Amino acid sequence: DGGITQSPKYLFRKEGQNVTLSCEQNLNHDAMYWYRQDPGQGLRLIYYSQIVNDFQKGDIAEGYSVSREKKESFPLTVTSAQKNPTAFYLCASIPSGSPSYNEQFFGPGTRLTVL
Amino acid sequence: AQSVTQLDSQVPVFEEAPVELRCNYSSSVSVYLFWYVQYPNQGLQLLLKYTSAATLVKGINGFEAEFKKSETSFHLTKPSAHMSDAAEYFCVVSGPYYSNSGYALNFGKGTSLLVTP
């Protein structure tokens, strides 16, 4: 089955540590996105990538970094510079070149908790 | 720029009662509108989407939404609520493709549908 996988489902981090969240898709989609979700806030865009080896900052990129070395993979690193990293993180993808009415496909999410 | 406002953070209904989740949008260009559902600790699943083909859009699980340009609204409705409908619902607007921002999506803050037996 085609889809998006995110791992781990739950992640605990000590303050001052960097952690990397995995996102893999086998949908052959070109564009991938990372969102952060906080209670009552909706989803906010962290980073997105339209093609391999290219990515752009979203609305709340500070304290995060990404890479896009392969079409299938778009890992997100939460660095120690991120002041309040506890949140639910969602990865999404969409075929590039599609009209914008094609919906984004979402992974199951990773819940990150800073101890 | 596009934006959406979900007018209610929570909507409580009794089982088998009708459901209406309200969404208003603002945009200076043509938009595409979506409703997504999220169950606890899961990703988002598409319920339905408006792409200008028809103003009344039918989705999964018996939901539908009507696009009203004059009211800039896209409210989600269902004739009869089931316990399994209890979830978070997001109204989302998408504008044209921009080369420097891709297919930017703007999410509402969500409406929690609470279903009571």
List the single residue in B with minimal CA-CA distance to A57: B101
Q: Do B109 and A41 touch (CB under 8 A)?
A: yes
Select the residue of A6, A42, A104 nearest B108 (Cβ to Cβ): A42
DSSP letter at A60 equals T
List the single residue in B with minimal CA-CA distance to A56: B101
Select the residue of B43, B102, B103 nearest A107 (Cβ to Cβ): B43
Chosen from B9, B32, B38, B44 to mutate, greatest number of chain A CBs within 10 A = B44
Q: What is the pLDDT of residues A87-103, one digit of tens each?
A: 999 999 987 665 555 67
Distances (CA, A) of B56 to A6, A91, A98, B48: 34, 30, 23, 10
Q: Do A40 and B109 touch (CB under 8 A)?
A: yes
Select the residue of A31, A43, A103 nearest B107 (Cβ to Cβ): A43
Q: What is the pLDDT of residues B72-81, one digit of tens each?
A: 999 999 999 9
d(CA A109, CA A91): 7
d(CA A40, CA A66): 26
- Give the residue-averaged pLDDT of B93-111: 73
Angle at B76 between CA B15 and CA B50, to 5 degrees: 150
Pick from A31, A37, A18, A30: nearest CA to A77: A18
CB B22 within 8 A of CB B6: yes
Structure tokens at A93: 């993808």
Residue A1 has pLDDT above 80, yes or no: no
Q: Do A106 and B102 touch (CB under 8 A)?
A: no
d(CA A86, CA A72): 26
Distances (CA, A) of A45 to A20, B9, B17, B72, B98: 17, 21, 35, 24, 15
Q: What is the pLDDT of residues B5-34, one digit of tens each?
A: 999 999 999 999 999 999 999 876 777 899
Q: Do A43 and B90 touch (CB under 8 A)?
A: yes
Q: What is the pLDDT of residue A67?
A: 97
- Give the residue-averaged pLDDT of A57-81: 95
d(CA B83, CA B107): 25
Residues with Cβ within 8 Å of residue A45, at least 6 apart in sequence? A33, A34, A35, A58, A59, A60, B104, B105
